[in-house]
Structure 1
């Protein structure tokens, strides 16, 4: 593989470090040949040569001459990919794209709209040219997921975007000086038992060090042992010193100046901090992670992708020094919490943000680009997925995540489009193209270009909650088929459909317009038979969400700690939802929570699936708890966090199907409260017999079921049977999709 890199040659800072590090290591990779072209001679190119990077200079401002020379070099050199960096590289890449026929990719190191701030002429020329060129290139690599999110929000195709990070070498370092020696070298004469927070940054406005000083001063009032070490130089030095003096913390703040011994600096700290107003993904975060430091950082740019709030550090909104102060004080007062968070951050940094992972990520991106370039061009491509997405329901969102995951396992280059109530949010979360659910012209046009339409999981074929939603889904199925798609209903539930005219309409559409239906329970199969639907291939499978993994133990430990809960505690999970008849039964759940606390020592934990509804239901039940400590989570977070939380339960009592699915997939004993036949059908399907109808719910009956569930705690032989069956039959969902996609080739 031969790759030519185009860059101006005047770059500095993070972009310079990233390009030099990456190309130096790519040059050492067997089977990879790299050439870097700069458009000026200077320190950038000189350092590149010193690192062993083959570097060619094309000086001068004659664009046409440079273009012709580059075109000749690329054609004669037998290159496979053109990789651009910066405005001049992007402009030349856009010109060479058609002339060479090669795929062109660019790495976006910063927000291109801000690159020429304060330089109106350059912004009007280079900035405009760069903006236009970026739209004409084939692929874009964002330096951090946040940069990719920014590009997605500006309308760039998610299928042609890749994230990469500024990785560093996580090989253990031995600092040249001990903590005491380093502090003495910078004039910080502090007690041995002090807790030191620190930052390494340029002292300029974008880093917002004044917020750090103010937050530190407030935290120091609560924790007098706390100290602040600031490494860096810049125009705000005197202003910051005066601020520290005015806040009464002059002796507790040390300005270390420019630091060359980075290892000794970070090993002198107990807490790493970042207070920037804007960032892509700063090296100071990964350097702090390498030193095993918990981090308190502003929620900007790519920071939240490394710092999981409450797990390996804390996040605060930029300039909010009060929240920053609270987080600093909490860490300063708890050495165990610092150690746990620091260890988690080190592990995440080593796994995902190391030099090796950055290099491998770049090689993987090149592999994808070359694979796609070799694919034959066709008019129809991709899949369109429709379901109840973008409505804040963790179960529906998990269904979408599972479907997208399985489609990408079938074909990693398959373009995926999703109909969503919140298309912008869906684009960012799942990195797919998305259309507003009721944007009829757009999704009908897209249907004329895709190969597979998926009616995506859940109970979409029912008229209990709405007649109109049923009609809408039937319309989209018919339209997709008429416009040339294969049609699959994916891991779905059927019914209940009560209205006879709706049953007849649904039967006609499914019989005529659907190619394959994979079902998540036996009740749905019986419903189809009763409706007379026989023409599609009907396959009994499972809910697609059973394939989703739980977050790692250390992550869930952090989530629980952040909620003030003991990670080693023993819990019983309750997931409730408003439904006709629930309010009359709410007290039973509260009394059952007291019962299980007194008999088994299990703390009741209420876990919502649909936040908007379930938290209110939990509060009504919790109001009847008299003895047990209980906790209501307002938000369980992403799918892996939600599944990880259910995995920590000793048993689960749920009205929500997906709480049962998530728990079953983790081998947790279940008690179902049935408001809809899908609950009892699912539990019967996996061999679980502990459920009761909501209308028949009694305290005695619920407690008896809980007793039976608690008796199964640790009974892996019984619980694993249903779990293994679920995962085995779930494969039928993706197998059916693969078969339909292959029919269209």
Structure 2
């Protein structure tokens, strides 16, 4: 591949390291040209590494752009990759006349790049912010910056992530840190001193003041701590005065600009970072390589690298009290420092090496090239419609599963979701999104879509509203009329009680739908009863079955935040407000008390829809005379599944509390309020179901006994495997309609 990298030439810090590592790694197997708009150390070092470097030293941007166009014509790159404001401006100017895809790596928050320098912020910063809007693709360093771009209106489908990487070969040979610090910085250290280091520019965005305040607080409980600050910048005098005010000046050493930085980190015990904004800082990776324990602010991709309490600590931005707490813990525990350093090195060297970064980079290039060169008039997108954007974890899980499966089927296709909260949907699922009832936008999307997916869930029903079934039927008709293939995906049908609605739904489905996959046999029987015969109908399973729980550590943190011991024994409840619940509440409470007294299972209420499901949980809780817990904050879907997977058994009214649990091999007891609950439990062969309108404590307790006894374990695990196998019918149906052969 022929790759042209474009940079300003004055890049420093993490951006400089990332660019150099990238072009060096890619140059092994590709033709790489590096354009720099400034001569100097960066260009010289790149040449020494065998990179073809061209320097354009023109202050007039129009002349510089003309020279760059000439180089593009001569080199004929497959892709142009920009880094930084000057490069982005030149890329935007070249893009107007050259049919080459242009991607920019967003190394930092462009709104904060010149924080503390108002003139540069309103000139160079504004020019960069405008230029960014005229590029083809965006490559943020880490997920948090991707979220920031989406929140600012950038197209999620034009964003691909990258993570910084470096060589993690640890320096060999003995290292005398006492001599290094004395000879280089004139610092005398004593036996027992614990050295904390931070390597960063002394500017507002790095917030070194928080480090100093936290350090000063930590000294009260860990007087052996020393702080070394490596870097220079406009805040240096202010930071020195702060040290004087806090009375810690004699324990703080300002080292100035440090190069090379590896010996500095080898001398440290703890590596610190307190920035307001970062992407994936190299100073952290360099400290990891040198063997430091790590404490950093909650910025950029740090949560993707550091598992707090497992291999390091992350503290909220600006929270010097939390920083001090973590400094004291590590400062007073050499064994913990070593444990964290070893664990983080193992993870970083495995997942964030330079080779891994270059591998991801090439994958990104191939993906972007396929997107860029797709015929403009081709019907390529997939439109997905459902009850999305309403805060229901079950519906959100359906959408996440469908999006995941469609991207696995064809990563180059764009996806658009019809949602009640399109901004939130774009941010969470990284798809395009339009408001569900913006009919004109919906019709425009249908004109360019290859496939319209209606599903999953029970959209075809008139219990909640007649208007909704009419609207969903209209979208089926409109999508087919505008040339889309139409699929109802892993859905449930009914109940449809009104005769007029049944006739209308049957006519529309028969005339407009190409394929239907259903999550239970009752739905198939209802379609047959309605006279629907033309579509290809298959029984599958709910798409959410494919979702996996969050990692154990993440689930533990979520449980702890809700005051729940991750190692406890629990019975889960998934309740919802519905007709008949009032009379059932005392019976449910009696069964929960029984589970605690007989089996030692503490009740945990796991809401599926927030905040409405908290009300029935509170009402049952008020009737309990045993300890109980509720998950009171909205959790990501994978975390909710992970919490339910920890239960010994789950008693549910909410269908997806039963589905999530059964999919993880947890025995379930259903309290049915709707045919869809009966249908699911019948489909999986479960005998543990009661009608909500007639729930009594005694039979509920018997079913809990059966689930807890282990007698159903083999059956439940077989059921989970059966559901995952049948769910594949959903993807097979979509692949057939898109003319994609599954591997």
Judging changes above 3 Å, is the alpha-carbon distance between structure 1 residues 743 and 304 closer, same or farther for their aligned structure 2 residues? closer
Kept in 2: contact 1:227–1:253 (CA 8 A): no
Secondary structure in structure 2 of the residue aligned to 1:9: coil
The answer to whether the aligner puts 1:721 opposite 2:690 as a matched pair is no
**Which residue does 1:450 correspond to in 2?**
449
2: CA distance, partners of 1:326 / 1:228: 15
The answer to whether the aligner puts 1:426 opposite 2:425 as a matched pair is yes
Judging changes above 3 Å, is the alpha-carbon distance between structure 1 residues 482 and 566 closer, same or farther for their aligned structure 2 residues? same
**Which residue does 1:632 correspond to in 2?**
630
Q: 2:733 aligns with which of 728, 732, 736?
A: 736
Deviation at 1:404, TM superposition (A): 0.7
Q: 2:149 aligns with which of 148, 151, 154?
A: 151
Q: Which stretch shows the higher mean deviation, 455-464 or 131-140?
A: 131-140
**Which residue does 2:81 correspond to in 1?**
83
Secondary structure in structure 1 of the residue aligned to 2:361: helix
Kept in 2: contact 1:37–1:58 (CA 8 A): yes
**Which residue does 1:167 correspond to in 2?**
165
Mind listing any 5+ residue stretches in structure 1 that lack a counterpart? none
Kept in 2: contact 1:448–1:484 (CA 8 A): yes
2: CA distance, partners of 1:140 / 1:395: 32
Deviation at 1:560, TM superposition (A): 3.8
Superposition map of 1:189-588 within 5 A:
192=192, 199-217=198-216, 223=221, 227=225, 229-234=227-232, 235-237=234-236, 239-244=238-243, 246-247=245-246, 273-287=272-286, 297-307=296-306, 317-322=316-321, 324=323, 348-563=347-562, 565-588=564-587
- 1:576-634 deviation digits (Å, cap 9, x = unpaired): 2222232433343333333323333333332221121222322222233323x432222
**Which residue does 1:702 correspond to in 2?**
700
Kept in 1: contact 2:108–2:277 (CA 8 A): no
**Which residue does 2:616 correspond to in 1?**
617
Deviation at 1:460, TM superposition (A): 1.6
Secondary structure in structure 1 of the residue aligned to 2:489: strand
Kept in 2: contact 1:158–1:432 (CA 8 A): yes
Deviation at 1:354, TM superposition (A): 2.9
2: CA distance, partners of 1:191 / 1:440: 73
Deviation at 1:691, TM superposition (A): 1.6
Judging changes above 3 Å, is the alpha-carbon distance between structure 1 residues 570 and 180 closer, same or farther for their aligned structure 2 residues? farther
Deviation at 1:402, TM superposition (A): 0.7
2: CA distance, partners of 1:630 / 1:257: 55
- 1:364-405 deviation digits (Å, cap 9, x = unpaired): 011113333554442432011111112222111111111111
**Which residue does 1:42 correspond to in 2?**
40
**Which residue does 2:658 correspond to in 1?**
660
Deviation at 1:480, TM superposition (A): 1.8
2: CA distance, partners of 1:430 / 1:557: 24
Secondary structure in structure 1 of the residue aligned to 2:611: helix
Deviation at 1:182, TM superposition (A): 8.2
Secondary structure in structure 1 of the residue aligned to 2:486: strand
- 1:224-250 deviation digits (Å, cap 9, x = unpaired): 578463432445455445545545666
1: CA distance, partners of 2:671 / 2:409: 36
Superposition map of 1:101-180 within 5 A:
101-115=99-113, 130-171=128-169, 176-177=174-175
Deviation at 1:331, TM superposition (A): 7.3
Judging changes above 3 Å, is the alpha-carbon distance between structure 1 residues 229 and 562 closer, same or farther for their aligned structure 2 residues? farther
Secondary structure in structure 2 of the residue aligned to 1:3: strand
1: CA distance, partners of 2:642 / 2:318: 33
- Normalised by the length of structure 2, the TM-score is 0.88
Judging changes above 3 Å, is the alpha-carbon distance between structure 1 residues 53 and 236 closer, same or farther for their aligned structure 2 residues? same
The answer to whether the aligner puts 1:2 opposite 2:2 as a matched pair is yes
Kept in 2: contact 1:195–1:225 (CA 8 A): no
Judging changes above 3 Å, is the alpha-carbon distance between structure 1 residues 348 and 422 closer, same or farther for their aligned structure 2 residues? farther
2: CA distance, partners of 1:109 / 1:198: 23
Secondary structure in structure 1 of the residue aligned to 2:454: strand
**Which residue does 2:16 correspond to in 1?**
16
Q: CA RMSD in A?
A: 3.5
Kept in 1: contact 2:562–2:632 (CA 8 A): no
1: CA distance, partners of 2:439 / 2:56: 50
1: CA distance, partners of 2:585 / 2:196: 48
Judging changes above 3 Å, is the alpha-carbon distance between structure 1 residues 634 and 336 closer, same or farther for their aligned structure 2 residues? farther
Deviation at 1:431, TM superposition (A): 1.0
1: CA distance, partners of 2:565 / 2:136: 49
Q: Which stretch shows the higher mean deviation, 601-610 or 321-330?
A: 321-330
1: CA distance, partners of 2:648 / 2:677: 20
1: CA distance, partners of 2:539 / 2:335: 49
Judging changes above 3 Å, is the alpha-carbon distance between structure 1 residues 657 and 359 closer, same or farther for their aligned structure 2 residues? same
Judging changes above 3 Å, is the alpha-carbon distance between structure 1 residues 737 and 14 closer, same or farther for their aligned structure 2 residues? same
Aligned residues: 738
- Normalised by the length of structure 1, the TM-score is 0.88
Secondary structure in structure 1 of the residue aligned to 2:577: coil
Deviation at 1:432, TM superposition (A): 0.6
1: CA distance, partners of 2:54 / 2:466: 67
Judging changes above 3 Å, is the alpha-carbon distance between structure 1 residues 269 and 589 closer, same or farther for their aligned structure 2 residues? farther
